[in-house]
Amino acid sequence: MEVKGARALLSACTTPVSEGMVVWTNSERAIRARKTTVELIMSNHNKNCLSCKRNLNCELQKLCQELGIRENRFEGEYTEPTFEDASPGIVRDTSKCVLCERCIQTCKKVQGIGVLGLMNRGFKTKVGPIYDAGFNAVNCMQCGQCVTACPVGALTEKESIHEVIEAINDPDKVVICQTAPAVRASLGEEFGHRIGTLVTGKMVAALKRCGFDRVYDTNYGADMTIMEEGTELLKRIQNGGVLPMFTSCSPGWIKYIEYEYPDLLPHLSSAKSPHMMFGAALKTYWAQKNNIDPSKIFVVSIMPCIAKKTEILRPECKTGEYQDVDAVLTTREAARLIKMYGMDNIDIFEDEKFDQDFCGEYTGAGVIFGTSGGVMEAALRTVKQILDGKPLENVDFMECRGMAGVKEAEVDLNGQKIWIAITSSMSCAKPLLDEVRAGTSKYTFIEVMGCPGGCINGGGQSIISGRKKARIGDEYKVWRMETLYEEDKMMPKRVSMDNAQMQDMYTEFFGEPGSELAEKLLHTTYSPKKRFDIE
Amino acid sequence: MEKLNGEALRKIDEIVARHKDQAGPCIEMLHEVQNELGYIPYEAMEKIAEATGSSPAEVYGVVMFYAQFTTEPKGKHVINVCLGTACYVKGAQQLIDRVEKLTGAAVNKTSPDGLFSLDATRCLGACGLAPVCIIDGKYYGNALVNNDFTNEIRRIVREEKKAGANA
Ligand code: SF4
Ligand code: SF4
Ligand code: SF4
Ligand code: FES
C-alpha cells in the first residue's frame, strides 16, 4: 500500500495504523507492486494447473486472476523440487509451494508438534519434515490440518479414487460405501452450497448413482462404538481399571499418543473407530446374512479425515484375513468422484435414504460423533440409560457442546459423580495429558479428537480459503456443527442402545458388547511408535 | 540411522544444559555439538528442540541454513576441492571426479568407510595455482599436472590400513 509521506510502499499486514494516516491500497503503484510479487512467485511455480488437485480452488490461481496476470514475465530456473508420497495419507510436492509457512504454523500452533520446518536458504528454500523426509518417517499424526491450511497444491491427500472405481467396475466385487457423519455437513460446499448445508439425502442419491452396491451410514458403526466403549468404561469404573479412559475414534489422535505419550496407552479405549467396527461387521455378520463371501466385499469409507487412510492399514486392526475397510475417500475426493460420474449438481436429486437392510438403522447419537463433544454426549446418553434402567427423558447434554478447546462437566451416573472432559487438537489436549501423566487428573473419561472442533473440521473436508477464514474466523466450524445437532434433533431415536437393528445383530451374532467375539472383531491394540524413523 | 554411543549422548546433554538459559541458545548449542562431534546428529536436534521450545524440524532448518553445520559425520580426513571460476575453467570437475574415485566419497558427503569427506568449496584465493584442492589443510596446486594429491590420498589409505591391521 502507499502511505502519504512514506517514500517506499509499505506492507499492509505489518504496518500499524496511526492517527491521521492516509492510505492508498489501490494506487497504480501499489497494484503494480502486488502484481510483481505474484509474478515472482509464479516464476518459480510449477504451473500445471490443469492436472493439479487444487485446480479451481487455489488461492494462487485466484490472485493471478484478480490481478489480471496475463504472461509469465520472469521465466527462469526452478528450485529442485521434492515430490514425496510415501505415506498413505499426505503428499508433498514442493514444486507447488509458495513458502507461505501456513502449514508450519498450523502444525506447531494447532497440533503443538512442529513436524514441518523450512530448510536451506535463498532460492533453494523448501518446506518439509526434518531431513526432507516422508511424512511416514516422522512423528506426523496425518491429521491433514496442514493440507487444509495450504493455499495451493503443495500439500494434498493421497487419492484413492481410482481404486474405488476399479472395485465398482469389478463384477465380482460387492462394493459397500459408508459415509461418516461430518461429511454431510461439508460435502455441499464442494457443489457451491453455503458452508454447513446439510446434504444427507442428496449425497446418498449421488453416491448410489456412482454404482455402489450399498450406501450405509457410518453412524451404525458409531452406535456400535458406543456400546463397546460405554461397556468398557463401565467395566473400568466397576473393576478399578485404568482411568481416565480416553476415546479412540480419532486415528490422528491415536498416532499422536503412540508417538508422544506412549506411557499413557493403557488409558486408551481398545474400541476400534466406528468405520472400522462397521467394516468388521459388514465382512462378518452382514456377509453371513446375505450369504456373500467376505473376500468379495470391498468397503469404502467416505471420511472427513486423512488419518483414516493410514488407519485402515494398521496391522493391529486386521479382522481375521481381511482389512476392515479397503479404501478411504475424503469428502473432497467423494465430490470429485461424484463429478467424475457426471453429476456436477446434486440439487437435481430428490433426497434418498441410506440402504436399510440389516445395518441401515442409526440414531442421533451417531450423527453427533462428527463434532467435538459428540462422542461424549452419545456415550453419556447410553451409559446413563443403562444405569437408570429406563429411557432417558432429557438426551441433551449441553455442557458437551460448543467450540471450546477444552470442555468439562461433572455428571451424575446413578448417584456416582464423575468428571468428564472433552478436547480437540493436540495443543489443547496436551495439558490434560500432562495431568494424567502426573497422576493429578480428576477426570474419569476424556474425549479426544485430533482436529480442532472434531471431524467437522477434519483434514479431508472441503477447503475454505485463508482469506475467507480471516473474515469468518471459527464460524465455519459452528455452522457445520449446528447442522449435525439439527439432524440429531430430527431423529426419532437419539440413544445408541435404542438402535434395534444393531441390537438384533448383537443378539444373533456378537452376543453382547465386550463378548469374546466382539473383543476379537471390534477391538484393537496399540503400541509405542518411534517418533523418527530414518536411516 | 546409527545409534549414538552413550558418551556422545552425555556430551550433548551437557552442552544443552550449559546453554539452556542463554539468549539465542540454539546456535550456541549447535556450534559446540558440531565442534565436539564433527556433525549434528538427530539426537542433538531433538534435545536442543526440547530445551528451546521448538521442534526438531525447526532446529534442522537452522542447521541447513548455515554452511558450517553438517548433519553427517565428517570423515577422518577432509578434502576440499575448489569450484571457483578459475579452477572450474582449469578442470576442477575432472579433479573432483578423480578424488571421488580415489576416496569413495561423493561431493559434500563422507565415504562409506568414514575415512574421507569431500567438500566442494568456493574460490580459495589461490587461483594462480588452479585447479586447487586441500587435503587436511595442505594445499595442492596445479593438481591435475602435479598429481601429488593422488599420492597423498593413497598414502593416507595405506597408513590407515596399516593402523587398522595393527589395532
Ligand atoms: S497450486 Fe494452484 S496455481 Fe499452482 S498448479 Fe495448482 S492450481 Fe495451478
Ligand atoms: S498432518 Fe497434521 S501432524 Fe502431520 S504435518 Fe500436517 S499438521 Fe502436522
Ligand atoms: S502451506 Fe503450502 S504453500 Fe504454504 S509453505 Fe506450506 S506447503 Fe508451502
Ligand atoms: S577459483 Fe579456485 S582458488 Fe580461486
| Nearest Cα residue in chain B from A131 | B60
pLDDT of residue A200: 96
For an interface test with B, which of A130, A132, A146 has the most B Cβ atoms less than 10 Å from its Cβ?
A130
Q: State which amino acid sits at residue A204.
A: V
CA distance B49 to chain A (A): 10
Tell me, yes or no, whether B41 and B83 share the same domain: no
The correct answer on CATH 3.40.50.1780 for the domain covering A162-522 is yes
Tell me, yes or no, whether B82 and B133 share the same domain: yes
Give ipTM to 2 decimals.
0.82
Tell me, yes or no, whether B149 and B85 share the same domain: yes
Residues of chain A with CATH 3.10.20.740: 2-67
Tell me, yes or no, whether B104 and B157 share the same domain: yes
Tell me, yes or no, whether B107 and B157 share the same domain: yes
Q: Which ligand lies nearest to the CA atom of residue B83 in the structure?
A: 4
Q: Does the annotation count A270 as an active-site position? A: no
pLDDT of residue B1: 46
Q: Could you tell me the CA-to-CA distances from B124 to A313, B119, B137, B151 in Å, in that order?
A: 54, 13, 12, 22
Q: State which amino acid sits at residue B57.
A: A
pLDDT of residue A314: 94
Residue whose C-alpha cell reads 453427533 in the numeric block: A368
Per the CB < 8 A criterion, the answer to whether B82 and B94 are in contact is: no
DSSP A181-236: GGGGGTGGGGGTPPTT---HHHHHHHHHHTT-SEEEETHHHHHHHHHHHHHHHHHH
Q: Quick one: CA torsion of B5, B7, B13, B14, rounded to 10 degrees?
A: -160
Instruction: Out of B57, B64, B71, name the one closest to residue A120 (CB).
Output: B64
Tell me, yes or no, whether B95 and B153 share the same domain: yes
Contact A131 B54 (CB under 8 A): no
Q: Which ligand lies nearest to the CA atom of residue A106 in the structure?
A: 2
Distance (Å) from CA A277 to ligand 2 centroid: 25
Catalytic pick among A100, A157, A455, A496? A455
Q: Which of the four CATH numbers 3.30.70.20, 3.30.465.10, 1.20.120.920, 1.10.1740.10 does domain A83-158 have?
A: 3.30.70.20
Q: Whose CA is nearest to atom 1 of ligand 4?
A: B84
Contact B57 A117 (CB under 8 A): yes
Distance (Å) from CA A34 to ligand 1 centroid: 18
The answer as to whether B129 is a domain residue is yes
The answer as to whether B70 is a domain residue is no
pLDDT of residue A232: 96
Q: How far apart are CA B85 and CA B82, in angstroms?
A: 9
Looking at B29, B45, B65, the residue that finishes a domain is B65
| Nearest Cα residue in chain A from B71 | A131
Tell me, yes or no, whether B38 and B94 share the same domain: no
pLDDT of residue B3: 63
User: What is the domain extent for residue B44?
Assistant: 6-65
Instruction: Out of B1, B46, B58, name the one closest to residue A117 (CB).
Output: B58
Residue whose C-alpha cell reads 477447503 in the numeric block: A463
Tell me, yes or no, whether B92 and B61 share the same domain: no
Residues of chain A with CATH 3.40.50.1780: 162-522
Q: Count structural domains, chain B.
A: 2
Tell me, yes or no, whether B118 and B61 share the same domain: no
Residue A108 touches chain B, beta carbons under 8 Å: yes
Q: Which residue ranges in chain B fall short of pLDDT 70?
A: 1-3, 167
Residue B27 sits in a domain whose CATH number is 1.10.10
User: Can you give the pLDDT of all 535 residues of chain A as single tens digits?
Assistant: 999 999 999 998 899 999 999 999 999 999 999 999 999 999 999 999 999 999 999 999 999 999 999 988 888 788 899 999 999 999 999 999 999 999 999 999 999 999 999 999 888 999 999 999 999 999 999 999 999 999 999 999 999 999 999 999 999 999 999 999 999 999 999 999 999 999 999 999 999 999 999 999 999 999 999 999 999 999 999 999 999 999 999 999 999 999 999 999 999 999 999 999 999 999 999 999 999 999 999 999 999 999 999 999 998 888 667 899 999 999 999 999 999 999 999 999 999 999 999 999 999 999 999 999 999 999 999 999 999 999 999 999 999 999 999 999 999 988 899 999 999 999 999 999 999 999 999 999 999 999 999 999 999 999 999 999 999 999 999 999 999 999 999 999 999 999 999 999 999 999 999 999 999 999 999 999 998 887 6
Per the CB < 8 A criterion, the answer to whether B53 and B16 are in contact is: no
Q: What's the DSSP call for residue A132? A: G
Per the CB < 8 A criterion, the answer to whether A248 and A268 are in contact is: yes
The x, y and z cell numbers of residue A422, run together, are 472433552
The x, y and z cell numbers of residue A384, run together, are 446413563
Residue B84 sits in a domain whose CATH number is 3.40.30.10
Q: Does the annotation count A321 as an active-site position? A: no
- Interface size between A and B, measured as CB pairs under 8 A: 41
The answer as to whether B91 is a domain residue is yes
The x, y and z cell numbers of residue A221, run together, are 458403526
First to last CA, chain B: 26
Domain spanning A2-67, CATH class: alpha beta
Q: What is the largest CA-CA distance in chain A?
A: 82
pTM: 0.89
Tell me, yes or no, whether B49 and B85 share the same domain: no
Q: What's the DSSP call for residue B127? A: G
Tell me, yes or no, whether B105 and B162 share the same domain: yes
